[in-house]
Structure 1
Amino acid sequence: MKIYVVAIAFMLFVSGCSSFSGEDKFTRSYVSAHITPNKTTESEVKTLYGTPDRQTSHSDGSYVWSFNKDGNMSSLSKALSYIPGTSALSGAMTSATIAQNTKDDISSVSDKVTGNSEHRSDSLTIYFTKNKVVSDWIM
């Protein structure tokens, strides 16, 4: 029973993190305002986006961090499906993902109707120098 309570609390925390900030961190205007190449540091990026979903290192000491808007929620849902007795929790994770996708679709339609042409993405890739400073980013 304890595992269910912990898992549900974790799921609510993870799914709620993006909505508490009030701002979509995966828009071009947000990234441009908060991440400046040759100035923004690794620690500043970590404060904004948390731990990256994927990290890649290069032989010259530079590296790349990738962030997904939904984090690793789909991976978590798949992992839960292999744990006996967690099918209800896995179903709740799937429902939460569907709800988020529906919210994003409604937002997209609303933007088209109002003429908002803000570029949004489901992923952000940030390139760092060996000195732990952002060299570039792409969405």
Structure 2
Amino acid sequence: MGLIPCSADVGADLGRSDPGAGQCVAVFFLDTPTGRWAAWASVFVVSTNIPIMLIEGGMSRLMAVPHLLAWGPLVVMLFLRLANPHVGSAPSTASESALMWALLLVNSVSLCFDTLDTWRWCRGERDIPGRIPHERL
């Protein structure tokens, strides 16, 4: 099994933690649909947020957009799998169900913050913490 990056971004405005810990736990469940979905969502977020950080010169609210694109569908899939344990390639186990509930809870809260950050970024709040606005390139 190779290394799977875990998203551990810090929100641009509130210093909040992202669902990184829950996504990291998913690597222990790669034999389940939930573990694979969470791992792929995490890989997507990391692979899109790193270029955003490099281009923006720090932690931008724009980093919330990939979270919406990954966590939103993940939350829908988790909800559907909890409603019908046979969604996916195999029935869910008790440990997979616990992972689903944890991911659903943490990612739902994260989506609230990410929606706010995306809205604020679209409205022009493009400041980068620790960076004076006139330094932007």
TM-score (norm 1): 0.36
Higher helix fraction (1 or 2)? 2
Larger-Rg structure: 1
Taking CA–CA contacts closer than 8 Å with sequence separation of 6 or more, which of the two structures ends up with the larger relative contact order? 1
- Larger strand percent: 1
